[in-house]
Structure 1
Amino acid sequence: MMNATAEILKKKIESFHPDLLETLAKVVEKLENRNRPTILPFHRDEILYRIQFHNEHPHTKLDFYENISELEKLYA
Structure 2
Amino acid sequence: MNATAEIIKKKIESFHPELLETLVKVVERLETRNRPAIPSFHRDEILYRIQFHNEYPHTKLDFYENISELEKLYA
Higher relative contact order (CA 8 A, sep 6+): 2
Query: Structure 2: where are the runs of 5+ without partners?
Result: 1-30
The amino acid that maps onto 1:47 is I
1:62 aligns with 2:61: yes
1:73 aligns to what?
72
Query: Structure 1: where are the runs of 5+ without partners?
Result: 1-32
In the alignment, the residues of structure 1 paired with residue 34 and residue 50 of structure 2 have an alpha-carbon distance, to the nearest angstrom, of 26
1:52 aligns with 2:51: yes
Count of matched residue positions in the alignment of Structure 1 and Structure 2: 44
In the alignment, the residues of structure 2 paired with residue 63 and residue 35 of structure 1 have an alpha-carbon distance, to the nearest angstrom, of 29
The amino acid that maps onto 2:66 is N
> In angstroms, what is the RMSD of aligned CA positions?
1.6
2:15 aligns to what?
none
- Greater C-alpha radius of gyration: 2
The amino acid that maps onto 1:43 is H
Deviation at 1:64, TM superposition (A): 1.7
**TM-score with structure 2 setting the length:** 0.53
Question: What is the percentage of aligned positions where both structures have the same residue?
Answer: 89
Question: Alpha-carbon deviations, 1:12-46, whole Å to 9, x = none?
Answer: xxxxxxxxxxxxxxxxxxxxx87432110110000
**TM-score with structure 1 setting the length:** 0.52
In the alignment, the residues of structure 2 paired with residue 63 and residue 69 of structure 1 have an alpha-carbon distance, to the nearest angstrom, of 12
Structure 1's consecutive aligned runs of 4 or more residues displaced over 3 angstroms after TM superposition are 33-36
